[in-house]
Structure 1
Amino acid sequence: MKETVDTATPSAPVAKKKVGVKARVQKFGSALSNMVMPNIGAFIAWGLITAIFMAGGWWPNADLAKMIQPMVHYLLPLLIAFTGGNMLAGHRGGVVGAIATMGVIVGSSIPMFIGAMIMGPLGGWCIKKWDDAIADKVKSGFEMLVNNFSAGIMGMLLAIVGYFMIGPVVAGASAAMAVGVNWIIKVKLLPLANVFIEPAKILFLNNAINQGILTPLGIQAASSAGKSILFLLEPDPGPGLGILLAFALFGKGTAKASAPSAMIIHFFGGIHEIYFPYVLMKPALFLAVIAGGVTGTATFSLLNVGLKSTPSPGSIIMLFVMSPRSLSNYIGLIVGVTLATLASFIVAAIVLKRDKSTATDDLAAAQGQMSAMKNGNADDSETPAEAADVIASYKDVDHIIFACDAGMGSSAMGASLLRDKVKKAGIDMSVTNTAISNLKDEPGLLVITQNELADRAAQKAPHALRLAVDNFLSSPKYDQVVVNLKARDQVSDDEPTSQAPSAPVENAADLPANLNLDLVNEIVFVHHDGHLGTATMATSLMKDRVKKANKNVAVKNLGIDELTDENSLLVVSSPEAAKNLKTRYTQVQVLVTDDLLNSPKYDKMVAALK
């Protein structure tokens, strides 16, 4: 698989790509989750206050417990509404969205999370359309007056609409959904929901499902019952733990070696995305996570287990933090997670034990094999995404952003991993992370995102350099990013200035006297060990030099064992590889250089070719 690098420049129009159904679903789900995720701290605060101070809590306190109902009825919906409006029209849109949401809050007796998810973005959209319509019609000096009154009037009208129209509809729909969920729980059918939830998680819809659907319904149920099982349907770490445990015992290659550390990150860190590639590399493992999810939910349902609020991240630690103060609930959590792990592990173990593939069919293959830049091109005719083009595309990059669905969890860890690599390479480069919905089309930007979100990244940042990876936590493409940046900087440093005299460069680029370049019809860059990526780039750069000089000489990148011992072959190698060359071949001509990418000897060498 080749490295997925999309490039675009501001001067070139970017064709709009047709957005598939999956991308549309992800975009909608992301819009819902992105209204909740920035405010997850408030949800956790509400959950902790409820768990600690309510009657029957850890330390009951009637006065402090008075915060519980106002927070769930007013604070949380208004935060969601403000965030939704802010996503579309900035702070002004957030204000209008919050005002509009007061209508649905006052017009209903239930927590209006769904109403807030409607009215917040609606308020932002309406004020944005209004501002666009009157942008060039307001007289100078009246801007603040018009802006303030238009926001106030727009918010008031939407609040009235919400009170009389949206509120009752949402209240009715929420009541129907609550009745449906309660019925499913009563007839013990809730575990079947995991048949859809577990595969959807691995398709990176986990945040959309949990924060956009289950959390609002769970908060509504917990506000009256004190806890809800809905908070456990998606965050249960059992199914993923079973998958990783099976790979640790029965896996092969990289997957087996990386599974133990992945278990720690997943189970205690709560970053579930880390086990997704393990499932994707063997689709039969979807059965394992489904089995684990169904088993866990069935156990939670039978033992009447629930949480006070959504656990974020979904680690075993947060599950206990969000649990009511109840020994039976704690025991139920342990039993449910354990049985989910065992069910997932048993199915995964069967799948892995029956797998007859070789050890090379491991995690590296699932995450995408080394890119063409990393592996080299065995076929000389294969020239798309040449190294010279990649280096050129990196020349303006001055900051890197990891973009994922929610802008947390795996993208934060991916950014941390690459930031460390960039720092160790001595490159001064900002590496941060964000939610894909907050991505902006900025100059000098390199966007790194998951393959599943590549289409949306192209929409949000059409002019940025874009790189898609299979897994934020262990992609081989990070090393190539560092190599490309270093090569970019090295090529830039080696370019002669317009004031530099040519004579000293010629004298510094003298070729060995024993070279007979008239005989050469093929140039080969020899790679070995960790220099594969550099040799591949050097090959492409040399192809460009030879082509511009109109020389009829082939340029290849080969291993040291793939050479033919002929004097028509000019081998360019590092000093380390040259030592082996001299012991294996007697006829090939050798040019030794410390700088494979841009040696000062290259111009004179190309000029001397026939």
Structure 2
Amino acid sequence: MSEKKTEKVSIRAKVQAFGGFLSNMVMPNIGAFIAWGIATALFIPTGWLPNETLNELVDPTITYLLPLLLAYTGGRMIGGDRGAVLGAIGTIGIIIGADIPMFLGAMIIGPLGGWLMKKTDKLLENKIPAGFEMVVNNFSIGIIGFLLMVLSYTIVGPIIEGLNTLVTNAVEALVATGFLPLLSLINEPAKVLFLNNVIDQGIYYPLGMQQTLEVGKSIYFMVASNPGPGLGLLLAFTFFGKKAAKRTAPGAIIIHFLGGIHEMYFPYVLMKPLTIISMIAGGMAGTATFQVFNSGLVAGPSPGSILAYLALTPRGNFVSVILGVLVGAVVSFIITMFILKADKTPDDNDEELETNIEKTKQMKSEGKNISDTKGSINSEQNEMKYEKIAFACDAGMGSSALGATTFKRKLQKLGVEDVEVKNYRIEDVPEDSDVIVVHRDLEDRTKRKYPDTKIVTLTNYLQDPKIDELADEVTQSKKTT
């Protein structure tokens, strides 16, 4: 039984890591995607300021610039600067040989180029005669890049284009039958399990960019990022929740709806698993509204904030976009309200949000519980010196940024100023960090990357006893030094 559980956790961690990898390729380039989205919204024939000359920026940007940026970033993540160059060289072969924007191809060939460069450099290590380093290094990129470019153009490109066509046709068939809202059956549980990046960056964003190039907008950007259902759920907890859940939900609303950090509502769903029905129903209702009114955005809203939604809404779609968000929120609110009002759990059992999450969540780490973690933290308290604390998440920009900012302010109130507190994506956490703070669902993945570093896991970034404990330990350590 224990082995099966370990295997499950390991598989989930690997899927999360894959989603994080995709996200880490996309997130640094979001600004470029938004720039393209603005140009599309303004200058295409149906845009706000139709301009035949400036409209010529749209096609080359999505065809060449954006895929090459993804490939360069993916290659660099694995093989450094040389891997980035090789990934971009290989990707140009796919771009030239295809009739569609090659986002999927870029996200495959870019990292492949980085991996090939890394392996090649390892093979040549300590084997290059003195004085020939530059020649060998340049020609190794050139020769492997040439081979990868030809391979991409002749073989890999057509295969990926065929797969892309298959996926596109399948999703378009779903749209044609009116069943697109059913995707919420996959999207909402995946989000709560921190697997949303796999779906968003791997499927919906590439399809959305492709559709936007053809019709100037896409509903695919909205099927998983709608902030409405999360808003409805948190509002219901605000009015009908108990104790800690009721107290923290209003703050979570601001960060979720305006800040676009959807992770804020995950603990509430995990605390009351039945509310996943609310999220699925709200997601389906919102998507159905978008579909009925033929709504769409011009680029992926990242983060999934209502402000990002409005900024990327094309002309003539504002009413339907806002309506889809509101419908999703209302449906989610009503169903969550009934679930919470029907809940007969005594108030005392809801006093600690973290305790409820631990009782209900189905993704517990193997052989771990709160008391074990607290015990290990307390036993190390007097032996550690806290100089560098890292908050980490998938992309290093959402929940980790929120956690780092909150913790830094907490330390300042306690009079501690000389501790470095920063947010990172998991793979970028400095090796010399004294503590890494992550969401509990990312613990397994973080341990695989940093097995010898102290890890503190949270279930709620707004109110978690472990944050207070860590702050106390840091304060005590500074008093004894």
What is the rounded CA distance, in whole Å, between the counterparts of 1:438 and 1:311 in structure 2? Answer: 24
Look up the match of 2:364: none
Q: Which has the larger radius of gyration?
A: 1
C-alpha offsets along residues 257-276 of structure 1, whole Å, 9 cap, x if unaligned? 22222222211221111111
C-alpha offsets along residues 129-159 of structure 1, whole Å, 9 cap, x if unaligned? 0111110111122112111111111111111
What is the rounded CA distance, in whole Å, between the counterparts of 1:180 and 1:95 in structure 2? Answer: 34
What is the rounded CA distance, in whole Å, between the counterparts of 1:199 and 1:127 in structure 2? Answer: 37
1:47 aligns with 2:42: no
Q: Given the superposition, is the C-alpha separation of residues 298 and 162 from structure 1 closer, same or farther in structure 2, using an over 3 Å criterion?
A: same
The 8 Å contact of residues 30 and 437 in structure 1, kept in 2 or not, is answered as no
For 2:348, which of 360, 366, 384 is the aligned residue? 360
Look up the match of 1:224: 214
Look up the match of 2:175: 185
Look up the match of 1:391: 382
Q: Secondary structure at the match of 1:138?
A: coil
Look up the match of 2:450: 461
Look up the match of 1:415: 404
**What are the equivalent positions in structure 2 for 1:426-575 lying under 5 Å apart?**
426-427=415-416, 428-440=418-430, 442-491=431-480, 493=481
Question: If the length of structure 1 is used for normalisation, what is the TM-score?
Answer: 0.73
Look up the match of 1:291: 281
- Structure 1 unmatched ranges of 5 or more: 1-16, 370-378, 494-610
C-alpha offsets along residues 104-127 of structure 1, whole Å, 9 cap, x if unaligned? 000001000000011000000001
Give the CA deviation at 1:456.
1.2
Which has the larger helix fraction?
2
The 8 Å contact of residues 388 and 432 in structure 2, kept in 1 or not, is answered as no
Question: If the length of structure 2 is used for normalisation, what is the TM-score?
Answer: 0.92
Look up the match of 2:126: 136
Q: Secondary structure at the match of 2:334?
A: helix
- Structure 2 unmatched ranges of 5 or more: 1-5, 360-370
C-alpha offsets along residues 317-368 of structure 1, whole Å, 9 cap, x if unaligned? 2112111111xx2121122111111111111011100001122333242456
C-alpha offsets along residues 421-456 of structure 1, whole Å, 9 cap, x if unaligned? 12232320111111113234x124311111111111
What is the rounded CA distance, in whole Å, between the counterparts of 1:265 and 1:294 in structure 2? Answer: 23
What is the rounded CA distance, in whole Å, between the counterparts of 2:230 and 2:13 in structure 1? Answer: 24
Q: Given the superposition, is the C-alpha separation of residues 226 and 120 from structure 1 closer, same or farther in structure 2, using an over 3 Å criterion?
A: same
Q: Could you say what the CA RMSD is over the residues aligned between the two structures, in angstroms?
A: 1.9
Look up the match of 1:373: none
The 8 Å contact of residues 367 and 475 in structure 1, kept in 2 or not, is answered as no
Q: Secondary structure at the match of 2:193?
A: helix
Look up the match of 2:329: 341
Bigger shift: 51-60 or 467-476? Answer: 467-476
What is the rounded CA distance, in whole Å, between the counterparts of 2:20 and 2:242 in structure 1? Answer: 35
Amino acid at match of 1:460: K
Paired-residue identity, %: 47
Q: Secondary structure at the match of 2:344?
A: coil
Q: Secondary structure at the match of 1:231?
A: coil
What is the rounded CA distance, in whole Å, between the counterparts of 1:463 and 1:94 in structure 2? Answer: 30
The 8 Å contact of residues 87 and 109 in structure 2, kept in 1 or not, is answered as yes
Amino acid at match of 2:332: S
The 8 Å contact of residues 277 and 471 in structure 1, kept in 2 or not, is answered as yes
Runs of 4+ in 1 over 6 A off after TM superposition: none
Look up the match of 2:392: 403
What is the rounded CA distance, in whole Å, between the counterparts of 1:383 and 1:448 in structure 2? Answer: 14
Look up the match of 2:368: none
Q: Secondary structure at the match of 1:56?
A: coil
Look up the match of 1:7: none
Give the CA deviation at 1:386.
7.0
What is the rounded CA distance, in whole Å, between the counterparts of 1:61 and 1:466 in structure 2? Answer: 54
Look up the match of 1:99: 89
Amino acid at match of 1:340: G
What is the rounded CA distance, in whole Å, between the counterparts of 1:269 and 1:338 in structure 2? Answer: 17
Amino acid at match of 1:485: V
Give the CA deviation at 1:203.
1.0
The 8 Å contact of residues 72 and 85 in structure 2, kept in 1 or not, is answered as yes
Instruction: Tell which has more relative contact order, 1 or 2 (C-alpha 8 A, sep 6+).
Output: 2
C-alpha offsets along residues 141-178 of structure 1, whole Å, 9 cap, x if unaligned? 21121111111111111111100111000111111111
For 2:338, which of 342, 350, 359 is the aligned residue? 350
**What are the equivalent positions in structure 2 for 1:235-384 lying under 5 Å apart?**
235-326=225-316, 329-362=317-350, 363-366=353-356, 384=375
Look up the match of 2:365: none
Look up the match of 1:586: none
Q: Secondary structure at the match of 2:461?
A: coil
C-alpha offsets along residues 9-31 of structure 1, whole Å, 9 cap, x if unaligned? xxxxxxxx976111111111221
The 8 Å contact of residues 248 and 462 in structure 2, kept in 1 or not, is answered as no
Amino acid at match of 1:128: K
Q: Given the superposition, is the C-alpha separation of residues 89 and 64 from structure 1 closer, same or farther in structure 2, using an over 3 Å criterion?
A: same
Q: Secondary structure at the match of 1:177?
A: helix
Give the CA deviation at 1:404.
0.5
